[in-house]
Amino acid sequence: MTLAPDAVTRPTQPRVTIPELIDEATVEAIAGEAWVALVGEDEVLVPLPGDLPAETVSAWVDVVGPWTGSVVLTTGRQTAADLTRALLGQAAPELLDHEDVADAFGEIANVVGGNVKAALPGPSTLGLPQVGEAPDVRNPEDVCRLEVLWRGQPLVVSVQGALPALPTPHQNPPHPNGASL
């Protein structure tokens, strides 16, 4: 489709999507620092994709500001439990319950999310961590997705917008005087 040369952009402000604000390398650096500092000094994230198992768990925080969305960590249930043990170190209980995993994985999402938020235009507010099934991707264009391996297990960090995609421009050229519907 080509717009007529005199086509006027819709006066509604263009919504900025996340790939314009942050790149995968920045998200990788943020997650990498979180792992080295919190999980262990030789715990590296290898930026390679892997197949998530059937049983996954997600932890995320919401960011509300000039850009609004969620920073979501998703991994296999067993990997989330391993991560919890690594985070707690000596203080880990012999048997982890669901609460322990939700708390620790949620806190990692909070740490990654807080730093992603600070790398975006602000000011923004950060929600409390939530754990469960990841929020849906509302707009495939508004996602920055990083796939990594930790101790060989896949983990995904997804920075995803909370708003649906803007409607695609009409097939018909806009009204000559620029008025929109």
Partner 1 sequence: MTLTATSFDWVRQLVHRESAIVLAPGKEYLVEARLLPIARSMGLPDVGQLVDSVRTRPSPESTRKIVEALTTNETSWFRDGDPFTALTSTVLPSLLSARGPAERLQIWSAACSSGQEPYTIAMLLEDALPNASTRVAITATDLSREMVECTRAGRFSQLEVNRGLPAPMLVRHFTRAGNEWQVSPSLRRMVTASECNLAAPLPRMGPFDVVYLRNVLIYFDLPTKQAILRRVRALMRPDGWLFLGAAETTLGVDDSWERVVIGRSSAYRPLKGN
Partner 2 sequence: MRALVIDDSRAMRRIVSAALEGFGYETRQAGHGQEALDVLQEGYVPDLCTIDWNMPVMDGLQFVSAVRANPAWRALTLMMVTSESEQGQIVRALAAGAHEYVIKPFTADALRDKLALLGMLPEEAVL
Binding site for partner 1 (CB under 8 A): 22, 26, 29-30, 33, 36-37, 41-42, 44, 115, 118-119
Binding site partner of 29, from partner 2, partner 1, none, Cβ cut-off 5-8 A by kind: partner 1
From the list 110-118, 136-144, 152-160, 168-176, the region that binds partner 2 by CB under 8 A is 110-118
Q: Assess 60 for contact with partner 2 (CB under 8 A).
A: no
> 125: burial class by Cβ within 10 Å (0-12, 13-18, 19+)?
exposed
Four-CA torsion 42, 103, 56, 140, nearest 10 degrees: -90
- Coil, strand or helix at 76: strand
Residue 38 corresponds to which tokens in the numbers above? 């919190």
Max Cα distance, the chain (Å) = 71
- Closer residue to partner 1, CB minimum distance, 7 or 37: 37
Q: Assess 118 for contact with partner 2 (CB under 8 A).
A: yes
CB 154 within 8 A of CB 54: no
Per-residue H/E/C for 22-67: CCHHHHHHHHHHHHHHHHCCCCCEECCCCCCCCCEEEEEEEEECCC
How many residues can be counted in the chain? Answer: 181
Binding site partner of 38, from partner 1, partner 2, none, Cβ cut-off 5-8 A by kind: partner 2
Site for partner 2 in 15-54 (CB under 8 A): 33-34, 36-38, 41
Binding site partner of 128, from partner 2, partner 1, none, Cβ cut-off 5-8 A by kind: partner 2
Determine which residue in the list 70, 84, 130, 158 makes contact with partner 2, applying CB under 8 A. Answer: 84
Determine which residue in the list 90, 168, 171, 177 makes contact with partner 2, applying CB under 8 A. Answer: 90
Residues in the site for partner 2, rule: CB under 8 A?
33-34, 36-38, 41, 84, 87-91, 99-100, 103-104, 106-107, 110-115, 117-118, 122-124, 126-129
